[in-house]
Amino acid sequence: MRQRLWVMLSTLLVFSMLAACGNNNGAASQSPASESSPSEKASASASNDSPAPAADPVTIKYHSWLNNKGEEDLRLIIANFERDHPEIKVEYVPLVTNGDSTDYLKKLDVMMAASEEVDIASFPNVDFLLERAARGVLAPLDEFYKEEGVDPAAEYYINPMINGQIYGVQDLASLWLVALNESVLKEAGESVPQWGWTWDDYRDLAKRLTKGEGEQKRYGAFFHTWGEYDNLIAYTERPHPFVNADKQPIFDDPSYAQFFNLRRAMEQEDKSAAPLSDTLGAKLHYRTEFVNGKAAMVPTATFFLGQLMDRENNPHDFKTVFAPLPQSSKDAETGLSYIGGNFGAVGSSSKHKKESYQFLRYLSTQMDVIRDMPGWKKADAKLVIDKLIGDNKDLIDVDSLVNVMYDARVKTIYDASLSTPTSSQMKKVLEDGMSKFLLDNLSVEEAQQYMMDEAKKLK
């Protein structure tokens, strides 16, 4: 099922895609002001009917990797849900303490392989969820949507689907964009890039923003180690970054040659982006490089906002401005973007599937605790921005953020139905291909052939 997600300023739609946010805690009409969210309706029902609490409330467990601020926010949401649903208790079970979703998924897989009961599992990427659904460890949710009388396509930007059945609820969406240090831009006499700029423009701007040498050097740009940073053209301008409509690998797509060569040119010729060898060797992270002033701009997603506003852990005194993701060329369609997100799924081993679904619906539609852009299409965009940015306008340029998020041209052609059980393994193939290209000095043709060969081995 091809999904086209339109976010329009005139109707104040909310977007944002996930990537996996590693060490962090990614055209529908807005609902009328008078329309209540499913969570509000549930609260009103509980208040009007005044049901007596069950003597023995059902307890469901929510598994995730969240810590620090992310965990605090989740616990507030749980408290609000339990207030409105006294018959259900939600226990948060963090499987890791370091906030790393990769480590979390490893532990989750061990639990599921051992047939331990899992009520709810959180996933930082739709491919990760669908990979587990294909293994049979997650439960389809269609019967619950039908019972509630809800059309998931009208509710959420992405509905994880395999064989015509939906296996997850999108609670957060993360729109990819470019974050720039406003102070560096002004110092260089540059303005914020606008819609229609290209990756060649990005390269040129990175050169102009690069300054200094050695320990004092400031790179114009930074590319992280995640697969998204190895070909953002494929993530943005293809229905799926790894496969075509027949679910065959597309690592031989011309966009791979274009983006691989861009990375090599910026690192080795222009010296405007930190070398991958340094990034891996020193375990550099896009967040610290940006807030410490070591990189002037970085492609990222709206999940970065929370990190930028975390003054205690990421202290800095400059304002961040935002630009849309560049496009492959002037001839490419303007407005295409990539949306990640966060998803919740119900374990097939759960004895309380309906109650778990109820919490996921509440989690995805509640507007009391805003953690990122909601995956719920009917969210109030102004309310989201007001709550998300709060008193941090000295750190976040709201005007440029709104320009990126709410432009009428913004859309994604990402098709979740193309995801396969090997999608996460293909992402590793991409990451390995870029490493071999940059570190082992392979030609781009050799790197692409390597990735094609490795992808075809996956079952």
Residue 150 DSSP label: -
Burial of 189 by CB count in 10 Å (0-12 exposed, 13-18 middle, 19+ buried)? exposed
What's the pTM?
Answer: 0.79
Q: Are 28 and 348 in contact (CB under 8 A)?
A: no
Grouped pLDDT means (10 residues each) for the chain, 459 residues: 36 36 36 48 46 74 93 96 97 94 94 96 92 95 97 92 93 94 98 97 98 95 96 97 95 98 98 97 95 97 91 94 98 92 96 98 96 90 90 96 88 86 90 97 97 93
Superfamily of domain 175-337+416-457: Periplasmic binding protein-like II (3.40.190.10)
Amino acid at 249: P
What pLDDT is attached to residue 17? 36
Strand ranges inside 16-75, DSSP E: 58-64
- For Cα atoms 256, 259, 4, give the angle at the middle one, nearest 5 degrees: 75
What pLDDT score was predicted for residue 6?
36
SS3 call for 93: strand
Pick the CATH number of 19-172+342-383 from 3.40.50.10420, 3.40.190.10, 3.20.20.150, 1.10.3720.10: 3.40.190.10
- Give the count of beta carbons closer than 10 Å to the beta carbon of residue 138: 26
Residue 101 φ/ψ region, left for φ over 0, alpha for ψ in the -120 to 50 degree band, beta for the rest: alpha
Nearest to 13 by CA among 23, 22, 5, 4: 5
Distance CA 407, CA 335 (A): 8
In 10 A of CB 297, how many CB atoms? 26
Query: 48 by DSSP, 3-state: which?
Result: helix
The pLDDT assigned to 19 comes to 38
Region label for 151, one of left (φ > 0), alpha (ψ between -120 and 50) or beta (otherwise): beta
Q: What is the pLDDT of residue 39?
A: 60
Residue with tokens 């605790």: 369
Residues 6 or more apart whose CB falls under 8 angstroms from that of 259 comprise 199, 230, 231, 232, 233, 234
Which among 274, 260, 270, 174 has a CA at the least distance from the CA of 223?
A: 274
**Looking at this protein, which amino acid is placed at residue 141?**
L
The ranges of the chain annotated as CATH 3.40.190.10 are 19-172+342-383, 175-337+416-457
pLDDT of residue 382: 86
**Please, are residues 429 and 454 in contact by the beta-carbon 8 Å criterion?**
yes
